[in-house]
Chains A and B, each alone.
Chain A
């Protein structure tokens, strides 16, 4: 048996070398910062939390076997000291770091890893992330209620965990880095039951000190965190119920350090053109694509020519203007930062005449009536109206249905219900930086089911086969080959035009002037805000 062995004693990475350009900045000691959000923080239970507010907080409360280098999409071992993968890609063996303790003082051992993953999969947990672990042997039994645990996870000793997979999964290391794979202490979870999400206990960089419901959450540094010099602040307070606009005004007055909801459209230009812009604004790309899903099973959208015509009808430049230029027009599902993105792909150019011609060819010279669903939170209704006007230019009358997210999601997951959906507000931000995460649930056949997220109800068996092939290339050496294969899946599917990729939204965060560090720790591609890495300038 030949083992492909990867020893990763990447001490350098774990101690987080500051980027050279900012080397002269020294983090101030003992700093506490204030972060604001409009909505309540839902839960801090890592098996359940799945929105962009609590995502980064959970990241910082818990540790996982794998982690990303701050500000990048580079995977590194974290709670694991090292790991081995068999050449067939079906078994992963992790050696745990010794002496890591939960905030209640108990050491983290291998059985905690097994328990945590099983808990994420167990239907009783009602966790949304169960599906990520589908490759592990025994998954179907556990999620179907036929077993209590995952037979594919073994713990030969307290510091060794072995995962057995039923099929090769090139994304498995990413899966172990997402929140759902966070390690939780069994005894605390069982004691707290469903309240664990309000009283979380983990082994991450921070500890939750206090939670005043509807007002604030207080996080404090974990003094025993196993990564040296991390975190760089003594704590942070998350204030909720803050209107973005108000938060921003307070930020300008120095009362707030990070406005979590970003900069509201109305304030954006004022701040961008203001004198403090460079100090306050962090603007960067994220793994996001805003698209219109065109339901391939609803007449007349089932005609590929119609879908192509709609693609050509959208004036993406104008829509990016409506969001004040905080996005880049897109032509394919994958965002530019994602491995596999095809720079040379041109997609459908804005061409009304050609769109009309295609419509006529399809038998709709005078257009038709249809509906466009969208989230009811700003700016999505406005974008939907811009799209509506674009469609109207080629004779397609789309009625706008701006609904609460839940209702849009429900409509999208019901066959034949929503002809078109603008994804904004529920947009696809990658769980982890791998193209496969952009395919299965939202474009693959598996997602085109009742309650699924493939709102285009697009199912192409050939592409599905190629996707499986690509995901089986778990050998890191074939990384580039795999990316290329994935890229072709996405560009090829554009021939069927199940989506109108509209733009890749950039994330714009406002931070107070005293906050230091590179921009990408405020718009971390895997964390949103990387609380472990941010610091206050001295």
Chain B
């Protein structure tokens, strides 16, 4: 209850949540509210010379270079972004949580080995690695999600590691050990619950990063493949049109920006509320 109350006191967080909900509803209800089918190449969606049509009554946000309705594609693109955002980031957080917690708890050679591995992953330029991976495996929605997860877990692992290290040093863990609690009990009953705020915060903030990364991969043509609409590949398909048909870049760009921003705002608010180290500050 406290969380809800504190959350609602923040206008930016409420704005973020509203946009997130809007995107979510748009994505879920896309088949119902979208005026056209997502990959329907409408005959009157292109000029006779083959140019896309700007926003008008029939096509509220205009059409793309194949004569498809942009609004429809943006709505269906929201599905892609959210699915990837949730799946990829969820996987990343789960892996990061597991690796970070294990490394932080075990310490010693095993913990060190795990952290050296995350260091190694840190030394990969993330986007470059994602591009290489995505180009290697024929990209599809799920592959892209997994590629992003492979890249993004590292950050979570490092944070969880640091936090776990701190927790292990704390007196209550020492107290548990002095009581004779087993590793499983300490890890799952005592450490994990304390990491949940971090997991929740990253589960939210990370979605923003993920949405951006997916868009970037798709923009480079190694992300979600057409005709599956994704905000990134809509821009990819029409980037050379940005002087003659700016709506093809501007609208998906706004969609990406707003969605990422909203997840960031919500995540930031959650961090302020949930993270006990931040709580005392204000």
Contact = CB atoms under 8 A, between A and B. Distances in A.
Q: Are A and B in direct contact (Cβ within 8 Å)?
A: yes
Contacts of A377: 221
Contact of B135 (A269, A270, A386, A404): A404
B12 interface: no
A381 interface: yes
Interface string B203-231: 00000000000000000011001110000
Contact of A385 (B41, B50, B240): B41
A155 interface: no
A98 interface: no
Nearest to B243: A266
A512 B108 CA distance: 69
A270 B227 CA distance: 27
B65 A382 contact: yes
B122 interface: no
A267 B66 contact: no
A15 interface: no
Contact of A403 (B39, B46, B138, B227): B138
A407 interface: yes
Nearest to A267: B244
Contact of B244 (A266, A322, A401): A266
B275 interface: no
A376 interface: yes
Given A321-B49, A322-B65, A385-B66, A407 B241 contact: no
Nearest to B244: A266
B225 A267 contact: no
Nearest to A375: B221
A382 B237 contact: yes
B51 A269 contact: yes
A402 interface: yes
A264 interface: yes
Nearest to A321: B50
A contacts with B: majority SS:
helix
A481 interface: no
A244 interface: yes
Contacts of A379: 65
A329 to B, nearest CB: 14
A322 B49 contact: no
B234 to A, nearest CB: 12
A378 B225 contact: no
A323 interface: yes
Given A265-B241, A269-B244, A377-B221, A385 B49 contact: no
B245 interface: yes
A245 interface: yes
Contacts of A264: 240
A510 to B, nearest CB: 14
Interface in A291-344: 318, 321-325
A389 interface: yes
B226 A324 contact: no
B172 interface: no
Interface string A244-261: 110000000000000000
B138 A322 contact: no
Nearest to A322: B50
Given A267-B244, A325-B50, A376-B221, A389 B138 contact: no
B66 A324 contact: no
Contacts of B49: 269, 321, 324-325
Given A266-B240, A267-B243, A389 B50 contact: no
A257 B40 CA distance: 40
A208 interface: no
B50 A324 contact: yes
B243 A385 contact: no
B142 interface: no
Nearest to B52: A266
A493 interface: no
B117 interface: no
A266 B226 contact: no
B242 interface: yes
B240 A265 contact: yes
A224 interface: no
Contacts of B41: 318, 385-386, 389
Contacts of B50: 269, 321-325
A389 B65 contact: no
Given A266-B244, A385-B41, 10 more contacts: A318-B41, A321-B46, A378-B240, A381-B221, A382-B66, A385-B226, A386-B66, A400-B226, A401-B225, A407-B138
29 contacts: A244-B240, A264-B240, A266-B240, A266-B241, A266-B242, A266-B245, A267-B240, A267-B244, A321-B46, A321-B49, A324-B49, A324-B50, A324-B51, A325-B50, A376-B221, A376-B222, A378-B236, A378-B237, A378-B240, A381-B221, A381-B226, A382-B65, A382-B66, A382-B226, A385-B226, A386-B66, A389-B39, A389-B40, A401-B225
Interface of B: 39-41, 46, 48-51, 65-66, 135, 138, 221-222, 225-227, 236-238, 240-245
3 closest pairs, A vs B, by CB? Answer: A266-B241, A321-B50, A264-B240
